[in-house]
Amino acid sequence: MNQHNTQAVISGQEHWTQKGDVRLFLWEKPAGKPDNKLGTVLFVHGSSMASQPTFDLQVPGRPYSSAMDFFAERGYDTWCFDMEGYGRSDKKRDITCDIANGADDIAAATGYIMKTRGVKQFLVYGISSGALRAAMFAQRHPERVARLALDAFVWTGEGSPTLEERRKKLPQFLKMKRRPIDKAFIHGIFERDHPGCAEEKVINAFADAVCALDDSVPTGTYVDMCSKLPIVDPGKITVPTLIMRGEFDGIAGFDDLVEFFKRLPNSDKQFSVMAGISHASFQQINYLMVYHILCAFFSQPEPVYRG
């Protein structure tokens, strides 16, 4: 893998779809090798930031800072989208935009891509609450998911110091539909688990990009993660699944994830611990390792013999 400045410039295209009367923003970066497409990747964002800052972040001097560019150059059509209440998607409804609502958004986004691009199945990557939304979507629509990657995932919340701290603020989250965010809050995501996992220039670029789109975000995913776990059933996730867990991640309790992993019924499954990674893996110093793990899972041949 050449990490040095030879990457192609891949231009993106914006799309819009409806979920009922809610408008959702989608962003597409097509495969750089259109004659040899390897599949369609759908990236699903987390609780406190929209999709483009997370998956298409451009940082000068950081090759493939954009995960979408990395996967598009390798032959994947790539998509991300803003959940209702985030980024450029509608924020007009007076709701908290919980995990289940996010799974509805994924259904609307995949429905649009299937209709306009003829895609039948997706390679789905979700991070943090995006992993919970993606898991719920896979539980509801297994026929749309070829492979599922869950990064910074949480099942019951057992053994999560971050959620333990967050629960102290549950009473105030329950009183509001949206919570304020700013650049200091984004910096705090990188400081809470293990400072030093990400470069300052990357954190700054990420915080700038996030806060250019939102100064507040919905509270629904926080409320769900603090008071309603577990909200997905591993026994009902039948698709090939990769669990990705950052070494220092304060959300994803290790034993909790191992228990979840054991219960996944499809034997085509993997558990990967990512060395030197805390919570926001695509923004970390070791991001190319994360891409490699994900790319290997997405490009893995299907098992021919099942026994």
In angstroms, the CA 270 to CA 242 distance is: 5
Q: Which residues contact 30 (CB under 8 A, 6 or more apart)?
A: 10, 13, 72, 77, 78
Note the pLDDT tens digit of each residue in 150-165: 999 999 999 999 999 9
Q: Is residue 55 part of a domain?
A: yes
CB count within 10 Å of CB 51 equals: 27
In angstroms, the CA 102 to CA 44 distance is: 9
Q: Is residue 53 part of a domain?
A: yes
Q: Is residue 305 part of a domain?
A: no
In angstroms, the CA 290 to CA 294 distance is: 6
Note the pLDDT tens digit of each residue in 188-224: 999 999 999 999 999 999 999 999 999 999 999 999 9
Q: Is residue 2 part of a domain?
A: no
Domain count, the chain: 1
In angstroms, the CA 87 to CA 245 distance is: 26
Range of the domain at 204: 13-298
Confidence bin at 2 (pLDDT 50/70/90): very low
Note the pLDDT tens digit of each residue in 87-119: 999 999 999 999 999 999 999 999 999 999 999
Q: Is residue 57 part of a domain?
A: yes
> Which CATH number does the domain housing residue 273 bear?
3.40.50.1820
Q: Is residue 235 part of a domain?
A: yes
Q: Is residue 44 part of a domain?
A: yes
Q: Is the peptide bond before 195 cis (omega within 30 degrees of 0)?
A: no
Residue type for position 76: Y
Kindly report the pTM of this predicted structure: 0.96
